[in-house]
Amino acid sequence: MKTIIRLAAGLMLALAALNAASQPAAYPNKPVRLIVGAPPGGGNDIMARLIAQKLSEGLGQQVVVENRPGAGATIATDLVAKSAPDGYTLFMTPSAHALSPSIYRKLPFDPVKDFAAIGQMAAVPLVVIVNMSLPAASLRELIELARARPGSLNFGSGGSGAAQHLATEFLKSLTGIEMVHVPYKGSGQAIPDLIGGQIQLMIEPLPSALPHIRGGKVRALAVTTRQRSASLPDVPTAEEAGLSGFEVMAWYGLLAPAGTPAAVVSRLNAEMNKALAQPAMRDSLAAQGAIPVSGPPQQFMDLIVAEIAKWRPIIQKAGIRAD
């Protein structure tokens, strides 16, 4: 009898061990990669590093920012779309994500179906900035200068089809001016050329533009939102500067590959929203000119779908293509 009891006990222990081994390890049990489709220094990179630090604290695992620039962030986007849906590869998504379907004839991913939304992080006004030597002290003067010298002004962007590119094409369509587009692999490369005079202007998200505005290296002419930015209270809106209808807002958020377990998505969303509620985090975003946004995953996916529909006719009218 004792032998039978010992055998039964051993069998139960073996079954318990086998069951424990078959259970997935608690998430996360290793570092998480946060992919950024731009070089260090731009707004996308700044947002990623802010949230990565807070997520690392909340998750108890390091969240490592990995920069993969090029092709309007589509290289990085494709990398994430094809990654394992286990929560260990995330994407800091710029608003350019909603532009790609209308700009690229063939994308290796579907911007909606191939991703699981984690949540929106921030909304960011853009600002029209110019080289300090350009004889334009206001948006109206810039437009007049461009009209007087068609095709002579060069504007930079973080890449063909990036938010900066599209915003400037929108400006051109509203005013009828002609300017030459010079695409870069991210704002971190474009802004030094703006300061140096190789290009004359950019319409740049506030996070990456603010340090150079405050440092007196570039001149801010107008913000692209209905209200002035608290970070640049003396800079008028485009409406105040005499250009009606010119309203553009960039945004950032987190995506994961489609098929990521709902429990992992929920955990990441909760940690992200918790971070965005912290006064220190909100202050950090405000210092970058960004407005914190929190909410459920579906709210962010709904924004992406709406933005794709909003920008498609504008992109088609401007004839923007990047194949």
Q: Residue count of the chain, please give it.
A: 323
Which residues in the chain are classed under CATH 3.40.190.10?
Answer: 125-223
Which residue positions in the chain have pLDDT lower than 50?
14-23
Nearest Cα residue to 126 out of 221, 13, 15? 221
What's the confidence (pLDDT) of residue 191?
95
What's the confidence (pLDDT) of residue 2?
52
CATH topology of domain 32-124+250-318: D-Maltodextrin-Binding Protein; domain 2 (3.40.190)
What's the confidence (pLDDT) of residue 323?
64
What's the confidence (pLDDT) of residue 42?
79
Could you name the CATH architecture of 125-223? 3-Layer(aba) Sandwich (3.40)
Contact between 140 and 171 (Cβ < 8 Å): no
Q: What angle do CA 173, 176, 182 make, to 5 degrees?
A: 70
The pLDDT tens digits of the residues spanning 188-217 come to: 899 999 999 999 999 998 888 999 999 999
Q: What angle do CA 40, 57, 96 make, to 5 degrees?
A: 35
What's the confidence (pLDDT) of residue 319?
82
What's the confidence (pLDDT) of residue 18?
45
> Tokens 């947002």 map to which residue?
47
Which residues in the chain are classed under CATH 3.40.190.150?
Answer: 32-124+250-318
